[in-house]
Homo-oligomer: A and B are copies of this chain.
């Protein structure tokens, strides 16, 4: 049981953009966290489709929050990005091949537990994840200047 990296990265993008309160390119964000630029781009696409961020193409383009951090719900993001229909085989009507479906309380128990999980996340807005934005930026900057740092250093700007 693992949160998809896709969702993890999505939340990092949102936190980064919220902290910067300005647009940023995928290269910048990928460099800041030292993660795959191309994978991050795919994640950013998902966020665009969810209308949580906006993309501007071309030179001086980038991504920016489309909604205020106070209005972005963490549970919403996780619900949208995690394909919870396949949390366990019997959740997926299509591929379910479990012979005891209906006679087994596991489905209901897991469903309730998953609901509790999401309900808890619903209590958080993006802004709640960033209690100290200065510290957030400071740590990213320190990381950028640490050994093994990527060639680009757009954070310093």
Interface, chain A (partner B; CB < 8 A): 1-5, 7-8, 11-12, 15, 32-34, 74, 82-84, 86-89, 97-106, 109-110, 112-121, 124, 128-132, 135-136, 138-140, 142-143
Contacts and interface: CB of A to CB of B under 8 A. Distances in A.
**Interface of chain A, helix or strand or loop or mixed?**
helix
Contacts of A142: 99
A88 B117 CA distance: 14
Please give me the 10 A-B residue pairs with the lowest Cβ-Cβ distance, nearest first: A99-B143, A105-B129, A113-B120, A117-B117, A116-B116, A116-B120, A103-B135, A103-B136, A1-B82, A3-B88
Query: Oligomeric state, in number of copies?
Result: 2
Nearest to A122: B113
Nearest to A89: B8
A85 B121 CA distance: 19
A116 B116 CA distance: 6
Contacts of A74: 106, 109
Query: Which of A82, A105, A130, A136 has the most chain B CB atoms closer than 10 A to its own CB?
Result: A105
Given A112-B120, A130-B104, A87 B3 contact: yes
Contact of A139 (B15, B33, B99): B99
Given A1-B84, A87-B1, A15 B117 contact: no
